Structure 1
Amino acid sequence: MTAPIVFDHDLIVRHLQRRQPGAEDFVTSLALYDLQDRLLAVTRRFEQALIMGPDATVLPERGETHDGVTSFERAGTALAAPGQLLLDPEDLALPRSDYDLIVSIFDLQIVNDVPGFLARLRRHLRPDGLLLAAAIGGNTLTELRQAFLTADVSHSGGAYARVAPFIEIKDAGALLQRAGFALPVADVENHVVRYAHPLSLMQELKRLGASNPLADRPERMATASLLAGAAEAYKDLAGDPDGRVRATLEIIWMSGWAPHESQQKPLAPGSAKVSMTRILGDKAGS
């Protein structure tokens, strides 16, 4: 079954290519900071490691685990510099099938077939290899989404998709299981970012190449009156007493292991050695 086309990949590439030189991508910086903390907790040395994201040029060359420094191959699913891999995120033909670590930073924001993408990553891991994936969570930019909904209804009587859909934390673990990963774990990092004005947020999204990437997007450009209406609605929704506005950022971290016989497995139903009645007494039947 073919996955529906949600994202316009060519448009995403053009957005990234138009980014202002030197523009700080603080969202990726936050994710890479979180990544370093997570790697330091891993008591293993990785020999074959890959880190990938829409733009490979912003990814690090090395990471440090508890047991030593790991060198990364770097790959981009939209942009890459000479010497870096440039991948089709819907096909994902990686050069190796024996990585012991794959890190994905926000690739899930531009992939139409998320379960297929994760399954292909698993097939490129050796048994007991680790996947770490960062994704933008479902509550991200909820204020902007609501503000545009209000403005669209007011200006045209209808609603349009202007903010990309994001993964919900409740679905993240199930996606890993569906892709065949063992010991799946998902957790979330929440951040609140404040801006002087809603238009400052919109301008930053444009600078970062994160403008509307949807294939089914409005054909007409947003008018000045629509943007003004969205800004006013945004102030009503998320304005602070000092005049600044809040924006929600949610980063979901997903981790899973390629299956291996050495890994812990849940007990089969009915295989417990001690009955609950012995432990709980009369409470077991209450």
Structure 2
Amino acid sequence: MASGAAAAARRLLLLRHRRRHLVPNHHFSSSSADEVLDGGRVKIFDRDLKRRHRDRAAWAMRETDPLVDAVADNLLDRLEDCRKAFPSALCLGGSAGAVRRSLRGRGGIEKLTMMDMSVDMVNRWRELESATEDGPEMNFIVGDEEYLPIKENSQDLIMSCLGLHWTNDLPGAMIQCRLALKPDGLFLAAILGGETLKELRIACTIAQMEREGGISPRMSPLAQVRDAGNLLSRAGFALPGVDVDRYTVKYNSALELVEHLRAMAETNALFQRSPILKRDTALATAAIYQSMFGLEDGTIPATFQVIYMTGWKEHSSQQKPKRRGSATVSFGDIRKQFGSNQD
């Protein structure tokens, strides 16, 4: 496997296609049938397994990762569009380390709390921070996004970079984030969208059909773009906004892709997953991937769709939509005015 920041940077094709989406009126629902019930609550992901994934990633993650660094940098770009400062900020799990690397004074953050469900990950962050001489006052806590251990009305800013898509109750986690924010506080999140790893999904499905005569859940369900705006609204955020980026990363092989996913703690954590991937199926997946999607230089591309979500906790200073029917100018009048100007 190629190593080093330079080699990784060469594999990252920053072919970002950003689209701004209006907030649709759809209801969020899981796309997976692989669910279990625990006390009446639907659980899709094994959070204990995900914690172990993050324990492993704490020591396997790269010092710099062009993909997660680009996602974190784009997430923090939104702070530059804000006129206010955010003295106290909370960064949740996922690629919080990349957020810390990319912060560079943005947002006027004076105190930054980094939280993760993995003790090993928190200790790793603490070790890396000890070598940093500048930046905001740092605090590290162990906690789960599903049961946010943060006081209400205590944070000016809450960020989550590539972590919340592993929660069983995403709307509930976002509601807890809103409650933890001060009035006029900002919520920023980046989650993986449904088009992520579409090439691997196709190759794995075909390989399972050929070798095993059927398919079993190998990859986790992810939110669709149409769901994101409704998630923000359901969580009670004001002024919701949604953007989508698509990144293409080149790998030397499917094995290298899987190793990168492990270092990102992005491997399968479904409750009803198949515990063993047969060797024949794995080899067939790699061969099909190369055959269907391989590039002329021998590498294979992998798509990562990232959905960025922005929401504010309500405050009296924020803009409010006008009451329906309160308009004083009709679209017909506007059309006539523009029509006459063109003539």
- The TM-score, its normalising length taken from structure 1, stands at 0.89
Post-superposition CA distance 1:83-109 (Å, at most 9, x none) = 511112222121453211111112212
1:64 correspondence with 2:119: no
- Tell me how far 1:56 sits from its aligned partner: 5.4
CA RMSD in angstroms, aligned pairs only = 2.5
SS in 1 for 2:42: coil
Name the structure with the higher helix share: 2
Q: Which residue of 2 aligns with 1:176?
A: 232
1:122 correspondence with 2:178: yes
Aligned equivalents of 1:59, 1:281: Cα separation in 2:
50
Aligned equivalents of 1:2, 1:49: Cα separation in 2:
34
Q: Is the 8 A contact 1:55 1:80 kept in 2?
A: no
Please identify, of 15-24 and 143-152, the stretch whose mean Cα deviation from structure 2 is larger: 15-24
Structure 1 gap segments, 5+ residues each:
none
In the TM superposition, structure 1's runs of 4+ consecutive aligned residues that sit over 6 Å from their partners are none
Q: Is the 8 A contact 1:53 1:59 kept in 2?
A: no
- Tell me how far 1:136 sits from its aligned partner: 0.9
Pairing partner for 1:23 from 62, 73, 98: 62
- Tell me how far 1:3 sits from its aligned partner: 4.2
SS in 1 for 2:210: helix
- Tell me how far 1:239 sits from its aligned partner: 1.3
- Tell me how far 1:209 sits from its aligned partner: 2.9
1:156 correspondence with 2:203: no
CA shift in 2, pair 1:22/1:5, >3 Å: closer
Structure 2 gap segments, 5+ residues each:
1-38, 127-138
Describe how 1:1-286 pairs up with structure 2 within 5 A.
Answer: 2-19=40-57, 20-21=59-60, 23-24=62-63, 25-54=65-94, 59-60=99-100, 64-65=105-106, 68-78=108-118, 79-81=121-123, 84-219=140-275, 221-281=276-336
- Tell me how far 1:18 sits from its aligned partner: 2.2
Q: Which residue of 1 aligns with 2:134?
A: none
CA shift in 2, pair 1:238/1:217, >3 Å: same
Aligned equivalents of 1:5, 1:27: Cα separation in 2:
29
CA shift in 2, pair 1:11/1:55, >3 Å: farther
Count the aligned residue pairs: 282
Q: Is the 8 A contact 1:40 1:64 kept in 2?
A: no
- Tell me how far 1:114 sits from its aligned partner: 0.5
SS in 2 for 1:18: helix
Aligned equivalents of 2:223, 2:270: Cα separation in 1:
15
Aligned equivalents of 1:35, 1:64: Cα separation in 2:
14
CA shift in 2, pair 1:95/1:278, >3 Å: closer
Q: Is the 8 A contact 2:89 2:113 kept in 1?
A: yes
Which AA in structure 1 matches 2:76? Answer: Q
Q: Is the 8 A contact 2:75 2:308 kept in 1?
A: no
SS in 2 for 1:266: coil
Which AA in structure 2 matches 1:263? Answer: Q
Aligned equivalents of 1:261, 1:54: Cα separation in 2:
32
Of all paired residues, the percent bearing the same amino acid is 35
- Tell me how far 1:259 sits from its aligned partner: 0.9
* Larger RCO (alpha carbons 8 Å, 6+ apart): 2
- Tell me how far 1:42 sits from its aligned partner: 1.9
CA shift in 2, pair 1:282/1:15, >3 Å: closer
- Tell me how far 1:112 sits from its aligned partner: 0.3
- Tell me how far 1:173 sits from its aligned partner: 0.9
Please identify, of 86-95 and 106-115, the stretch whose mean Cα deviation from structure 2 is larger: 86-95
Which AA in structure 2 matches 1:258? Answer: K
- Tell me how far 1:21 sits from its aligned partner: 4.3
CA shift in 2, pair 1:182/1:63, >3 Å: farther
SS in 1 for 2:105: strand
- Tell me how far 1:57 sits from its aligned partner: 5.5
SS in 1 for 2:309: strand
SS in 2 for 1:45: coil
